[in-house]
Structure 1
Amino acid sequence: MITLDEASPIPPFEQIREQIGDLIRAGELGPGQRLPSIRQLAGDLRVAAGTVARAYSELETAGLIQTSRATGARVRDGQGLAGDMRRAAMQFVATAQGNSLSLEDALGAIRSQWRQE
């Protein structure tokens, strides 16, 4: 399900976050579907548990998953437009940061696109 490119300059937690997010957006992971435990995925990918925990935390902040001690990590039920906007914003921010864009440059890109619509 998830693979890491060890030669990539993208940190492992970002690769995990991006791949799980893509699977959710593509509908390959549906609402309520359980994700592997942090320890299980970390073992499968041969990374530190903290790496997976960080990816899961960012996915939860983006509204894509929810976590609890009782049920683990699960794909969050659809959030409508608000959830779509959060996911788009998360993806935009990750891309901007991955390309070392400043906040001002990123906001400038949004303003420029807004005017074109």
Structure 2
Amino acid sequence: MNPQKVDRDRVVALTDLPNIGPASAKDLRLLGIEQPAQLAGRCPYAMYAALCDQTGVQHDPCVIDVFISVTRFMAGEAAQPWWAYTEERKHTLEQRPNQPTLNDLSAINL
């Protein structure tokens, strides 16, 4: 859903979350997340690593941005477009000395 249209009081389904459409909701369900409340306390980098592992595909890193946006939203932050987190993700991954592997991503604690 467009972050500007999100009403925190009406978030019931995954697609009620900012930046989550049907495809992203399907990805979340692959991770065992059926309800928005299940995102609380989750690490977006670990979620991304698990998604890549589960599907056998290296997904676009922008998926991390989407995961950051929804985990932060569920932690109480204002809804933001996913690209608001791109620089943060790039900075976080640049802190790794080599190209991050899936294991590196799942070890990042935020």
Q: Do both share a fold (TM > 0.5)? A: no
Greater relative contact order (Cα < 8 A, sep 6+): 2
Larger radius of gyration: 1
The TM-score normalised by the length of structure 1 is: 0.28
Which is strand-richer, 1 or 2? Answer: 1
